[in-house]
Structure 1
Amino acid sequence: MITDPQGTVLALFLVFCRIGGCVLAMPGFSSARVPTHLRVFIAGALSLSILPVLWDTVYPAVQTSSATYIGFIFSESLIGVMYGMLARLYTLGLQFAASIIAMMVGYSQPSASDIFEDSSESSLSGFITFAGMMILFMMDFHHIVFRALIDSYVSMPFGGIMDMRSTLISFTDTLSSTTFIMLRLCSPFLIYGLMFNIAIGFINKLAPQIPVYFISTPYLLMGGLFLFYFSVAALVSQFGQSFASVFIGR
């Protein structure tokens, strides 16, 4: 039986601010293809499910003044968005690597609609992005994010001042680790594109009267797609396995 309905609702809303901020920025859930009402329902359901676990931590915070409670709302939302953005940076790195791969194999055109956002990208990069997100959901990456968000009530309790220096360090470390991982994943295509274009440049010097660059495009695309066929499984697998080390390490 609920003895304090008002306090329960206020505590639930504080939990919703942190969870909702994370869902707002987390990859997959924050997609333009996911309706706004569905995001609110997901955040609300998660808040209801973890409120009993965090009751002893959250409920004392609502026994404060109105100004302090409003400050809690802003700080909790900011913390949730920060955790969601840390996960989102990793998936943005995959889009960066997919764009490099599509450019190196000569498959940058024609453009197609982005699967997750209201933008355009090549069909190959869209396929890689979708496969990477599917692997992340199959490996329950959202469980890792939500578990870290619940543990954050110990490292970032109510009433504490958010350490912006540590937050910026977490963002820069995530960007650095993500960049190295994505460059490693697309390095075979970078080497392939570099060697192919150097070879075509030498051929053009030997036979300048032939439009080598127009003739070479089908061969560039064919070789790149063969390379993609043999490496896509390892690429997507390493992308999914590296998420936990990048996110938990922050």
Structure 2
Amino acid sequence: MEPYAAADQVWAGGLIFARVGAMLMTIPGVGEAYVPPRIRLSMALVISIALAPVVVGYLPPLPATMGGVAGWVIREVATGLMIGALLRMMLSALATAGEIVSLQTTLAFAQTANPFQAQPGSTLAAFLTLLGVTLIFATDTHHLFIAGLAGSYEVIPPVSPLLLNDFAAMAVRTVGDSFLLGVQLAAPVLVFSMIFNLASGLVGRVMPQFQIFFATAPLSIILGLSVFALSLGVVGTVFIERFRTLAMGFTGGAGG
């Protein structure tokens, strides 16, 4: 092996590192705020070296000017951020489901620090988000991230124009799908809450002197959390399948 790297090799490694590093800074799990930046950058460097022989054929030649170099680097960073942002948008479905369940079980005031959103949120939302990240690693879905890094050079080649319009449309669709998925995941608790509130209202109308609120508030919490616990397995299965479908969209031919 040669004891030095040629300019073309440094250029190829740096361009791959720009996309890989940007994606690893935003994807769920690895891109969380509590993961030290040195860990993420080290992983990006190792993955870039491993991917270099596979994707070097997709890279443009070394530009003759510094402006051209900066333009290509900015483009690759933007591409990595877009891919990572789409994956993180889908993770917000669990936060949406947790907030809906908290509202229906009167636990919305139980706020806690959510490390995945970098802001306070309901306890159930933080729990579901943590469950989603755990499922990503437990089901080896994070392997799709690496396959997606290689496959993204087929789906979004560096030499092709940056498809900002397509990304904007896909981002809007992903946000809508994630919100819809969050409502669907919380559907069992929503159905229970509707039936329970109708029954409570009927009892309140039939027996006006009965303190319906003090009797139904504990039952709403206990029964609502019971329904939530019984549906937790289905929630995790449906979410991870939808998340894998989104991640596989970037694998191209590398996922096989």
Partner of 2:90: 90
User: Distance between the aligned counterparts of 2:62 and 2:7, measured in 1?
Assistant: 10
User: Distance between the aligned counterparts of 1:116 and 1:176, measured in 2?
Assistant: 20
User: Distance between the aligned counterparts of 1:168 and 1:248, measured in 2?
Assistant: 19
User: For residue 149 of structure 1, what is the amino acid of its counterpart?
Assistant: L
Instruction: Give matches, 1:154-173, under 5 Å.
Output: 154-173=154-173
* Structure 1 residue 29 corresponds to structure 2 residue 54: no
Contact (CA 8 Å) 1:177, 1:246: kept in 2 or not? Answer: no
Task: Measure how far apart 1:129 and its partner are.
Answer: 1.5
* Structure 1 residue 212 corresponds to structure 2 residue 212: yes
Given the superposition, is the C-alpha separation of residues 45 and 249 from structure 1 closer, same or farther in structure 2, using an over 3 Å criterion?
A: closer
Deviation >4 Å, runs of 4+: none
User: Distance between the aligned counterparts of 2:9 and 2:104, measured in 1?
Assistant: 56
Contact (CA 8 Å) 2:28, 2:87: kept in 1 or not? Answer: yes
User: Distance between the aligned counterparts of 1:238 and 1:85, measured in 2?
Assistant: 21
Contact (CA 8 Å) 2:96, 2:183: kept in 1 or not? Answer: no
* Structure 1 residue 49 corresponds to structure 2 residue 42: no
Offset from partner CA, 1:143-186 (integer Å, 9 cap, x none): 22332232222232233321222112221232233233322211
Instruction: Give matches, 1:61-76, under 5 Å.
Output: 61-76=61-76
User: Distance between the aligned counterparts of 2:239 and 2:75, measured in 1?
Assistant: 32
Task: Measure how far apart 1:16 and its partner are.
Answer: 0.8
The TM-score normalised by the length of structure 1 is: 0.90
RMSD of aligned alpha carbons? 2.0
Percent of aligned positions with the same letter in both sequences?
24
* Structure 1 residue 243 corresponds to structure 2 residue 240: no
Given the superposition, is the C-alpha separation of residues 46 and 131 from structure 1 closer, same or farther in structure 2, using an over 3 Å criterion?
A: same
Offset from partner CA, 1:71-110 (integer Å, 9 cap, x none): 0011100100111011101101111111111221222232
User: Distance between the aligned counterparts of 2:164 and 2:71, measured in 1?
Assistant: 16
* Structure 1 residue 153 corresponds to structure 2 residue 153: yes
SS of 2:46's equivalent?
A: helix
Contact (CA 8 Å) 2:105, 2:220: kept in 1 or not? Answer: yes
User: Distance between the aligned counterparts of 1:182 and 1:117, measured in 2?
Assistant: 16
SS of 2:121's equivalent?
A: strand
Contact (CA 8 Å) 2:92, 2:178: kept in 1 or not? Answer: no
Partner of 1:99: 99
